[in-house]
Each structure stands twice: as C-alpha cells, then as structure tokens.
C-alpha cells in the first residue's frame, strides 16, 4: 500500500520502471508506462522526463507532425514543455513557434514576419483581456457608458482586423482565445444593476467573436473564459507570477491550457478515433454480471448506478457525433447480452453497437477483429476499460490504439470520457451524424451480398442511385473531410481544407465532383469525390477517392464515367490521372487500368495514366446505377456538344 | 511515505537540466549549471510548486539561488 501511494505521489517507481524498460529494449512496455506516468503527474519536471524518455524509445512510435504558432500577450513559455509532452504521449510531434512577448499584432501585420515564415498549420491567438482591453479590465469604474461602448467597438475592430489580415495571408487554422471575465467586477454588485456593465461588455465581445468565427472558415473561438471558470478564477490565477513575470496562470493549470489546445490539434492532424470499443463489467454497469447476476449489477437513475448511466449518455452523445460504438468484454455472451437487451437501467442496447466481441479471448486479438469487421485501421479505435492491466496490455501491444483508462471513482467516468480529445471534430457533416445508423444498414447489405447469386444480381438488387454535385458550397465541408480521411480508395492521397476547396471552385479551371449514393437501405450521403483540373487539351484528375463504405459496388465507375463524359463534352481530347502509392491505398491501384486507361509513365511509387477521349470508347455507366446530375448541366450537355 | 524533500528536489533538477542525480550538490546554481537561465528558473519554481502543493511568493523565488536554498525555502513552506 505504501509503495502504491509512493508511486502515485511522485512516480518514482514508474520512473525506474520506464528506464528499465528502455534499457531492456522493450519499447512497447516503455511507451505504455510513459503514458501512465504522464497521466498521473503531468507537471513541469515530468514533461522534461517524458520528452527525454520518448527520444530513447526504440522503435520510435509513429508520430503525426504539426506546426503550431502561438501569438500571445503574456508569458507562457513554461506551458510549452507541457504542451509538447501531452502531445507526444498522444502520438503528435509539435513544432512550436512563439511570438515575441506582446508582438502578436506585428507578427500578423508584417507579411514578412518570422511568424508567417514558420508556415504554421494552426495558430493560437492567446491574448488576455488585461492586455487587449486594459481599460475594460483595470479602469472600468471610471468609464461612462459611451466610453465603454467605444472601447468594445475598438476591441472588436482590432480583433476583426487581425483575423481578416491573417486570413488573407494564410490558410492555417486560427484558434482565438475569447476574453476572460474578472473574478470580481470592478463596480461590485452595481455591475449588473445598470446598462454597460463590465461583464456585459466583455460578454458582448465574446458573443461577437463566435459570430466572426462562423463567418470566416477555419477560425475557431476557444472558450478561454470557460476554461478558467471550469477550474475556478481564483485558483487559475497566480497574482505573484503575474506581477513579477507576466505569467498569469498558476502552475497546476498550465497543463489544462495545453490539453485544451490539443483538442484542436487532434482533429487537425487526423489523430482521431472513429470507433469507441467499451468493456462491460464495472464500465457500462457497476459490478460483475457473471458473479452478481442481472439483478445485482448497478445501472439506473439512482446512485450508484447513475454514474454508469451517465457514461452511457456520453456514449450516445458520441454516436450523434458519428462515433461508432462496439463492445469488447470478457464475459459469458448469454448473460451479458441479456443485461444489455433487457436491463431497465441501460440506455445502450444491442442495436447501438456495430460490432460485439464478448468472449474469453485476449482483448488485443478481439480489437484487431473489430477493426477488420468495421473496415477501419486499428489506429481508428479507442479502447475504454476500468482494468489497468487490460489497458496496459493493449497500450503495450497496440500503441496506435487510444486507450482510455477509467479512474477508480465511477462518478468521474462521464467527465473522463467527455474530455477525450480523439473524439473532437472541427466540422461535422450530415453523414457523420448518421454514421451509427449507416453501420447497422451495412451489416444488412453484407448479408444480402452473400446470398445474391451473382455480383450483378447483387448490384441490381441494391437499387443504387448516384447523384453528382459540385457547385453547392455546403458540400465542401464533407469533401474536405473525405480528402483528409480517406486512405484506402484514394488515387493521389491529396488533402484539402475547406478554404482551399473554396478557392478552387472560384476559378474556372478546377471542377469538384461530389457523389452521393442512395440505395434500398438508405442514403449513404456524399461518399465519392473527383477533383479535376482543366488545362490546355488535357483534363487532369487531381483527386479521385471513394469512402470505404461503398467500395465494391461499382459506384466509382459511375463517377469516372460522368467525369469522362463531361470532359468529352467540353471538347477535351485526353483524360489523365496519377496513382500515387501510399501505405494504405493498394485497393485503388488497378482502378485506371481496369477502366481502359494506358500507363504513360511509371516511376518510383507513382504512375501516370491516360484515357483518349477521341479514340477510346466512353467509360460505360454501370447498367444497374441510375444517375441523377444537376439539371443545369444536363442542359449544357444536351444543348451544345452532345452528338 | 513520500521520499525526503531533498531527493524530490534533486529529481526535479535532474529532469529539468538533464543531469544525473550524482552531479547535483547543494551548491548547484545558475553559475554551475549552464542552462539554468531565468526561464528555466521559472520552470523549476513551477515544478517545485506542483510537487509539494505549495505556492511560492516572489520573495521566496528570489531566495532560491541554489539547490540548498531551494530545499530550505521549501522546508519553511511545508507544515
């Protein structure tokens, strides 16, 4: 007991274990222990230890890289090692640029600044109320209503100007801290008695920032005030360090600031999970079903079952966000399924789970099977369990899986899951929200595929309808997302942001084709994308991809046929495209060859393919697919150039 | 039992300046450790605050001129 306490308090035993695992060349074990060590005491000295230990890992874990620029008005250097350590244990390597103290405006206004030359992927504008609006913070009691209004307008103008100038020079994502409220308004109780109070004035700037961020794509408001209040204003602020070193954040909270920034980085670099795989005993319910039985487990509206029900509520919220739920648990199937299906306290039922593994096999093996069944990589899995040994086992053997270890106290379960950054999304498309249902339908489609006599019969039986879209700005969120997330059927693997796509469709030499597929089981939403560049006599396919949801159903042929038809109608002679080999896109390798393209160039890792629109016959639309294309374009086709 | 204040402080110094424990003496200070600059001093102060659950005043921080003095200041703060 004393050694356990020792471990929790200082992590000294863990330190030694980490060093031993590294010396023994046991990289997986060391990685898992480092994550555990960090989660237990994420402080300034642990950060240095984690970063130093990480460098010694062999093999080195695969990290996603991200260049972050922080433009700030206060000292936050001590936060940076914490930020880097928190990122590295979650698989992200940060390259951080920090503006000179209070030089945030100069950095944005000077196009030649070191800031722009650092080519950031994401920029954090961390400016405090004290610094950008000192009169609203310090001298508020002296101000007349008119002066307050003038100040509010000045601050808005300043922020708006910075954001606009920034956006005109960079396509990077921009995260802006909103304005912190004072712990005690300067006018005391009177503040909310009259118009033009301090809280109201600062609140109006914060509300306006939300609106600004909705108008300019890739701009996000970070609720810094909400973060401060979550931990308590009095506790967050360290007056001594603020007055002597311009460092306003207390030691304990620097890591909370770093964690909050990371929530934006995860979706940006694609370190996100699509599937939440959950344990059952002492996770979805309290107790062990095999020992305590149906009536013995704790789950329901009242304490102690309420904690588990709240965790289930969080899982339902995640499903609304497009996260797929699955079960991986060591139980007897019959009694576990009975509890899931019939227990009156359960919010989750079997229909909510896209894959279920209830058996006594190793969880690592089960997780691999679940990934395969759901057609995702194992890095798309997040694994939730209360048992530290299972968590350690999965982390050591599958470092790519995000392991969420529940704390000892069930009342902390729901918040623990809510704070996991791998489920964050910066944008949400209609397809995301329906994904849970899609996966249920997918199971039915797979069953039909097995019984259909021939593949063609199978295709016909699906009653597929393909709609080609392209000019509607509202599809760009989904198109950008598909370019960023589609790994398997993706000819070139090019990734685009919504901002870049918006610029593309504004020009006449680019055209975006987004394919929506419906079938007898439902609407799959936008699941295919072609991006084409028209140049001189050739029409070049820059991007061609298909969501794995619809692979093997010939809808890719329908999209290619449509693109070729339109290129031909516009008078182009050639249609060409690259295949660029990546770690995962082997399923797309033969796509051009099997559609009659000739290989005109082959070199390391890539090949260039061409289709002669004059000589070669057209790419036939599959007979079992009904094509709907926008009315305007049909006219263009029939009225002018169609033979 | 938690380990002695002395050892915990040496662990922090070892982490921050990438040194082995043997190299650290009560006389270790910004003049003997090359990268002990003002920013690292702030990191050191924050690590000490978190490790011992205390808050150091500007006057305390000024007195923390070497490892021995850090121990003394922390000792005064602890119950």
**Domain assignments of chain B as residue spans, ordered by start:** 5-77
C-alpha to C-alpha distance for A211 and A206, rounded to whole angstroms = 9
More confident residue, A640 or B53: B53
Which of B3, B12, B55 is closest, CB to CB, to A45?
B12
Interface contact flag, A6 B56, Cβ < 8 Å: no
Under 8 Å CB pairs connecting chains A and B tally to 66
Output the pLDDT for position A448.
64
DSSP A360: S
- Residue in A284, A250, A248 with CA at minimum distance from that of residue A130: A248
DSSP H or E stretch at residue A65? strand A64-72
Per-residue model confidence (pLDDT) at position A634: 41
pLDDT at A3 (0 to 100): 37
Q: Shortest Cα distance from B7 to chain A (angstroms)?
A: 10
Q: What is the pLDDT of residue A520?
A: 77
CB contact under 8 A, A45 and B39: no
Cβ(A113)–Cβ(A165) below 8 Å: no
**Whole-number CA gyration radius for chain B:** 11
Rounded to whole angstroms, the Cα distance separating A89 from A399 reads 10
Interface touch A48/B11, C-beta < 8 Å = no
Contacts of A415 (CB under 8 A, 6+ apart): none
Q: What are the chain A neighbours of B3 within 8 Å (beta carbons)?
A: 6, 10, 12
- Averaged over successive runs of 10 residues, the pLDDT of chain A (643 residues) comes to 37 82 90 92 93 90 92 95 96 95 90 93 96 93 93 95 92 96 92 88 97 92 97 96 94 97 93 96 95 94 96 95 94 93 94 91 94 92 94 91 96 97 84 67 61 67 87 88 89 92 88 91 87 87 89 89 89 91 85 92 92 79 84 39 34
Q: Do A43 and B46 touch (CB under 8 A)?
A: yes
Cβ of B39 within 8 Å of Cβ of A78? The answer is: yes
Residue A326 CA, chain-centre distance (Å), reads: 19
Q: Would you call A10 and B8 a contact, using CB atoms and an 8 Å cutoff?
A: yes
- Contact list in B for residue A43 (CB cut-off 8 A) is 46-47, 50-51
Report the C-alpha gap between A402 and A69 in whole angstroms: 26
Mean pLDDT over the full length of chain B: 92
8 Å CB contact of A52 and B61: no
Query: What are the backbone dihedrals phi and psi of residue A174, each rounded to the nearest 5 degrees, phi first?
Result: -125, 120
- Please indicate if any CB of chain A lies within 8 Å of the CB of B30: no
Helices (H), A398-429: 413-418
Residue among B43, B52, B73 with most chain A CBs within 10 A, to mutate: B43
- State in Å, rounded, how far the first CA of chain A is from the last one: 85
Closest chain A residue by Cα to residue B46: A251
| Predicted TM-score (pTM) of this structure | 0.73
Q: Could you tell me if B59 lies within 8 Å of chain A, comparing CB atoms?
A: no
B2 closest CB neighbour out of A6, A48, A238: A6
From CA B16, how far away is CA A47, in angstroms rounded? 9
For residue B3, the distance in angstroms to the closest alpha carbon of chain A comes to: 8
Task: List beta partners, residue A123.
Answer: A69, A174
pLDDT in the model for residue A635: 35
Tell whether B47 is within 8 A of chain A (Cβ).
Answer: yes
Say what the pLDDT of residue A619 is: 87
Count of other CB atoms within 10 angstroms of residue A389 = 8
Is pLDDT above 70 for B75?
yes
Residue A78, min C-alpha distance to chain B (Å): 6
pLDDT at A101: 85
CATH number of B5-77: 1.10.1200.10
Q: Which residue of B has its CA nearest to A75?
A: B39
pLDDT in tens, A88-144: 999 999 999 999 988 999 999 999 999 999 999 999 999 999 999 999 999 999 999
Average pLDDT (B38-66) is 94
Show the 3-state SS of chain B: CCCCHHHHHHHHHHHHHCCCHHHCCCCCCCCCCCCCCHHHHHHHHHHHHHHHCCCCCHHHHHHCCCHHHHHHHHHHHCC
Q: Chain B residue with minimal CA distance to A4?
A: B1
Chain B residues touching A252 at Cβ < 8 A: 49-50
Q: Do A44 and B18 touch (CB under 8 A)?
A: no
């Amino acid at each position: 007991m004393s050694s356990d306490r020792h471990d929790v308090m200082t992590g000294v035993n863990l330190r030694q274990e980490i060093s031993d695992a590294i010396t023994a060349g046991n990289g997986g074990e060391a990685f898992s222990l480092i994550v555990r060590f960090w989660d237990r005491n994420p402080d300034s000295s642990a950060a240095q230890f984690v970063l130093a230990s990480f460098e010694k890992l062999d093999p080195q874990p695969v990290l996603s890289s991200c260049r972050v620029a922080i433009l700030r008005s206060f000292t936050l250097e001590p936060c940076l090692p914490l930020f880097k350590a928190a990122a590295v244990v979650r698989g992200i390597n940060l390259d951080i640029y920090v503006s000179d103290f209070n030089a945030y405006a100069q950095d944005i206004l000077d196009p030649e600044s070191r800031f722009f030359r650092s080519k950031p992927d994401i920029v954090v504008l961390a400016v405090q109320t004290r610094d950008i609006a000192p009169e609203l913070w310090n001298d508020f009691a002296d101000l007349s209503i008119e002066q307050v209004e003038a100040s509010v307008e000045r601050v808005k103008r300043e922020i708006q100007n910075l954001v606009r100038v920034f956006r005109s020079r960079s396509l990077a994502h921009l995260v802006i801290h909103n304005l912190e409220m004072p712990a005690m308004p300067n006018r005391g109780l009177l503040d909310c008695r009259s118009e033009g109070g301090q809280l109201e004035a600062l609140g109006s700037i914060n509300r306006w920032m939300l609106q600004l961020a909705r108008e300019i794509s890739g701009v996000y408001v970070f609720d810094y005030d909400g973060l401060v209040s979550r931990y308590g204003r009095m506790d967050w602020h360290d007056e001594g360090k603020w007055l002597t070193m311009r460092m306003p954040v207390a030691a304990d909270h620097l890591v909370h600031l770093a964690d909050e920034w990371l929530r934006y980085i995860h979706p940006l670099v694609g370190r996100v999970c699509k599937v939440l795989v959950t344990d059952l005993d002492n996770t979805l319910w309290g107790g062990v079903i095999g020992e305590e039985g149906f009536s013995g487990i704790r789950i329901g509206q009242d304490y102690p079952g309420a904690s588990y029900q709240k965790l289930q509520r969080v899982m339902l919220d995640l499903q609304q966000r497009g996260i797929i739920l699955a079960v991986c648990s060591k139980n007897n199937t019959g009694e576990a399924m009975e509890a899931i299906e019939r227990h009156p306290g359960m919010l989750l039922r079997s229909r909510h789970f896209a894959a279920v593994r209830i058996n006594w096999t190793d969880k690592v093996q089960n997780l691999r099977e679940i990934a395969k069944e759901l057609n995702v990589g194992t890095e798309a899995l997040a694994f939730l369990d209360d048992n530290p040994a299972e968590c350690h086992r999965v982390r050591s053997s599958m470092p790519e899986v995000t392991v969420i270890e529940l704390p000892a106290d069930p009342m902390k379960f729901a918040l623990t899951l809510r704070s996991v950054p791998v489920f964050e999304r910066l944008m949400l498309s209609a397809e995301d929200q329906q994904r849970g249902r899609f996966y249920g339908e997918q199971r039915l489609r797979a069953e039909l595929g097995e019984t259909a006599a021939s593949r063609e019969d199978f295709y016909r039986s699906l009653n597929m309808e393909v709609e080609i879209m392209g000019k509607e700005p509202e599809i760009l969120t989904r198109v950008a997302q598909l370019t960023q997330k589609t790994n398997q059927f993706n000819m070139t693997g090019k990734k685009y942001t919504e901002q870049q796509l918006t610029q593309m469709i504004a020009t006449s030499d680019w055209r975006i084709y987004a394919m929506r597929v419906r079938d007898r089981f439902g609407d799959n939403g936008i699941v295919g994308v072609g991006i084409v560049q028209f140049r001189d006599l050739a029409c070049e396919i820059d991007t061609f991809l298909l969501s794995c949801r619809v692979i093997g159903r010939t809808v890719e042929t329908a999209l290619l046929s449509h693109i070729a038809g339109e290129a031909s109608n516009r008078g182009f002679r050639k249609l060409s495209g690259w295949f660029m080999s990546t770690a995962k896109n082997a399923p797309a390798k033969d796509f051009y060859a099997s559609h009659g393209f000739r290989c005109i160039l082959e070199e390391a890792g890539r090949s260039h393919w061409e289709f002669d629109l004059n000589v070669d016959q057209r790419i036939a639309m599959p007979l079992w697919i009904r094509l709907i294309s926008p009315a305007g374009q049909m006219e263009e086709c029939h009225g002018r150039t169609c033979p | 039992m938690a380990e002695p204040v002395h050892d915990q402080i040496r662990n922090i110094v070892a982490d921050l300046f990438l040194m082995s424990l043997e190299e650290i003496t009560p006389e270790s200070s910004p003049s003997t450790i090359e990268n002990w600059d003002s920013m690292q001093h702030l990191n050191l102060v924050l690590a000490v605050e978190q490790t011992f659950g205390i808050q150091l005043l500007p006057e305390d921080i000024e007195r923390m001129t070497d490892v021995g003095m850090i121990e003394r200041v922390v000792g005064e703060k602890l119950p």
